Amino acid sequence: MIALRPVLLALSPLLFTTAQVIAQVNNSNCAPLIQHGIYDTYRQTAGSVNSAQYKFDLCQAYNRLQTDKKNASVSGHYGLAGGEGNYSAEQLDQIGQAMCTATQTSTYSQSDLNVMQQVIDQSAIDAYKECVSLDSAGLKTKTTVREADAGQMTLDMYYVTPIGGIPQVSVKKIDISPSDAFTCVGPLWDMQGKAQKMDTHLYSMSCTRRVAAALPAGANILAPASTVTVMTDVGSVTRSFAALRAAPPPPPFDIPIGTIVAFSGSKEQAEAQTADGWWICDGRTVHDNKSPTFDGKDTPNLQGQFLMGDVSSGQTGGSKTFSIVNQTIKSHTTGGFGDPKIYGDPFTHMQGSHTWTTDSSIYSEGVWQGLNINTVPPFYTTIYLIRVR
């Protein structure tokens, strides 16, 4: 029995439940697998926005959540600015920590994973658990994915013999599914099926994904869902990739004829836009036989004008100034109002004796000098252009 004790000690870490392993192992190389799962889920549901923009929108929502926490005003759900996701506060808190914090966590509890597996690919959860379990068995891995297009992956691996474990491990086989999904090279790839043993030296391989340069008619998949699996003496390392979908073409950006835009450039530059169908709004006559709508007609004269929304276009009005004309202030007598309350009017006098006495009558007289009041707010000048074709 004494001779068997070291063996039992060596096996005991492998008998832990996944939750126990996750709680006890601090492996920063496993955490990025969660990030990859977040990106992969996004690719399956969106794809029209690049991963960098998705992360920016996600982190903006995460920062809003942190502000709401401080203000005790947390919402039930948080949508991303680009519309690529909608998360509960709990879900956003978990994936935001994984994607947006400077000191990203290196371990996730089972409760953390339960929250995240509702909004990220299950294969990422499985890969994280697998990574943590193999780490406790001595097999150390680090996966780096080029998330911009999920077109390349680097897998680093080495082995540290645990107490009572085998001194070295071999790479039995590396499986790629579909078989042509990746092309892999490197020392780790070369080890498969050979007598060479893995030790504390770092063994790496780089795998480039096969992505279609052009889509067949009716297809929208640039690369199918795929996996790379490295089988060793102590367990298998599986890395999964979601299908790469072609982003839908952007909707046609058709600017209606008659659209007016503000052009911030020189008069010469504005004149040059005529060749592309944009004419200066200064009342000039349009001469463009490609424009049946505007040929022979005048552009609106918007020099020195502001634009105002209304139910129809073409109405004019307004003035740069507002005038108050000269006028005489007629005498007006008041009295019997208790203590006088008027102090600043230079044309106000006491009736009779010039003393402020209770119930004295007062009257006003004089001439109001007219003036012009400028009604133009602060401004920045541009040249208005109108699209005629």
Task: Categorize the per-residue pLDDT at 13 as very low, low, confident or very high, splitting at 50, 70 and 90.
Answer: very low
Q: What is the pLDDT of residue 251?
A: 57
Ranking 11-15, 75-79, 123-127, 234-238 by mean pLDDT, the lowest is 11-15
Which H or E run contains 10?
helix 5-11
Helices assigned H by DSSP within 183-294: 187-191, 267-272
What is the DSSP code (8-state) at residue 346? T
Q: Which of 14, 27, 19 is nearest to 165 (CA)?
A: 14
Work out the pLDDT band at 209, boundaries 50, 70, 90: very high
The vertex-185 CA angle with 182 and 188, nearest 5°, equals 110
Identify whether residues 52 and 177 lie together within a single domain. yes
Phi, psi of 238 (to 5 degrees): -115, 130
Tens digits of per-residue pLDDT, 42-79?
A: 887 765 557 888 888 888 888 989 999 899 888 888 88
In-domain check, residue 127:
yes
- Average the pLDDT over 295-312 and give the result: 89
Question: pLDDT at position 15, please?
Answer: 31
Residue 122 CA to residue 225 CA, distance in Å, equals 13
One domain for residues 181 and 44 = yes
**pLDDT tens by residue, 307-349:** 888 888 888 888 888 887 877 766 655 555 555 554 444 444 4
Cβ atoms within 10 Å of 308's Cβ, excluding its own? 9
List beta partners, residue 238: 229
> Is 91 part of a structural domain of the chain?
yes
Same domain, 235 and 335: no
Do 241 and 337 reside in the same domain of the chain?
A: no
Q: Does residue 306 belong to any structural domain of this protein?
A: no
Q: Which amino acid is at 379?
A: F
Let me know whether 109 and 17 are in one domain. Answer: yes
Decide if 385 is inside a domain: no
Judge whether 44 lies within some domain. Answer: yes
> What is the domain count for the chain?
2
Confidence band, pLDDT 50/70/90 cuts, at residue 360: low
pLDDT digits (tens, 9 = 90+) for 87-110: 888 888 888 888 887 655 567 888
Q: Is the same domain home to 119 and 225?
A: yes
One domain, residues 14 and 135:
yes
Q: Is 100:62 a contact under the CB 8 Å cutoff?
A: yes
Question: Residue 122 is part of which domain span?
Answer: 5-245
DSSP category for residue 239 = E
Residue 317, in any domain of the structure: no
Last residue of a domain, one of 212, 245, 278: 245
237 and 352 inside one domain: no
pLDDT band for position 22 (50/70/90)?
A: very low
Classify residue 116 as exposed, middle or buried by CB count within 10 Å of its CB (0-12, 13-18, 19+): buried
Higher-scoring residue by pLDDT: 231, 329? 231
